[in-house]
């Protein structure tokens, strides 16, 4: 068992850290809201620290799961950041969905301190985190991944090294491109079925047995038909991810016309007050009177 620090106890990090504790790893946690760190530490009979630096002291692995590039820098860099507390040879595994550029930036700084760094964003949402069924896409050096993989697998259904530093984040961008297009297509299909007078549930049951089948269809169509959007990844978070990947596309030359359009559709959902609705709420935009 390893000595592990976990930084960031949000809807994803809290259960992920819990799986590590239940597996027998020695945990010290940090959260920007100290009360949540204290709650987690009490629940799992572990320890919490007042700064990332103190949480990371003596840890073989430091797992981070925060909001964005700036949040990541704030808990990793500086006098109270995780890097300042890590000993040479320790590895920081970043589960934040962030830019490939910040991954490369932090990898360089880690190397200068004789530390390892892996960018390892996750997919699977809150349910995946709670059920230890996350898909984890990793970028970094193979030797570092080999050392960290047994710890990462504690909450993973699938984990794979995708290539050099930044490759994990780039693969997560591929994931979000697919999700955006699939959810928009499913929203339009359900909307069309209802406008055509069909039984939406029956239509989905039939087409789910053919080429239209997808995870989104299987897991989201019932809630979408009911207008219930409290089952996963929030629109605000999706727009953050789409902003990152569209910026990456501007630099690498990828043409993403559908993704750019879906991003604007999510902006419409935000304007409707749906920033905290889950990503399947694209259907609400189609049903809104001004979008009919």
Active site members: 172
With CA atoms as reference, report the closest residue to 238 among 118, 97, 52: 97
Structure tokens at 254: 């990828």
Left if phi > 0, otherwise alpha if psi is -120 to 50, otherwise beta: which for 140? Answer: left
Residue 161 backbone dihedrals phi, psi, to 5 degrees = -75, 120
Number of H helices and E strands in the chain, helices first, is 14, 9
Beta strand 134-139 pairing with 122-123: antiparallel
Return the CA Rg of the chain: 20
Structure tokens at 135: 């898909």
For the four alpha carbons of 111, 23, 40 and 36, in that order, the dihedral sign comes to positive
């Amino acid at each position: 068992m390893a000595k592990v620090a976990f930084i960031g106890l949000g809807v994803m990090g809290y259960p992920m850290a819990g799986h590590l504790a239940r597996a027998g790893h020695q945990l010290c946690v940090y959260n920007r809201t100290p009360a949540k760190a204290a709650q987690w530490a009490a629940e799992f009979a572990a320890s919490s620290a007042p700064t990332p630096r103190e949480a990371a002291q003596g840890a073989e692995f430091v797992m981070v799961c925060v909001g964005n590039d700036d949040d990541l820098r704030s808990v990793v860099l500086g006098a109270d950041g995780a890097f300042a507390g890590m000993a040479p040879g320790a590895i920081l595994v970043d589960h934040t969905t962030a830019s490939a550029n910040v991954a490369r930036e932090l990898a360089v700084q880690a190397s200068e301190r004789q530390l390892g760094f892996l960018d390892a964003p996750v997919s699977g949402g809150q349910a995946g985190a709670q059920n230890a069924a996350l898909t984890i896409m990793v970028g970094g050096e193979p030797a570092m991944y080999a050392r960290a993989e047994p710890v990462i697998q504690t909450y993973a259904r699938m984990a794979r090294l995708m290539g050099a530093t930044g490759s994990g984040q780039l693969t997560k961008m591929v994931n979000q491109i697919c999700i955006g297009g699939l959810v928009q297509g499913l929203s339009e299909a359900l909307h069309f079925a209802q406008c055509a007078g069909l039984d939406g549930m029956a239509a989905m049951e039939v087409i789910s047995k053919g080429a239209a089948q997808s995870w989104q269809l299987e897991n989201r169509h019932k809630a979408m038909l009911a207008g219930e959007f409290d089952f996963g990844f929030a629109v605000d978070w999706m727009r953050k991810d789409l902003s990152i990947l569209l910026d990456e596309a501007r630099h690498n030359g990828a043409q993403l016309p559908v993704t750019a359009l879906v991003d604007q559709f999510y902006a419409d959902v935000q304007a409707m007050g749906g920033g905290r609705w889950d990503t399947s709420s694209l259907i609400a935009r189609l049903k809104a009177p001004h979008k009919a």
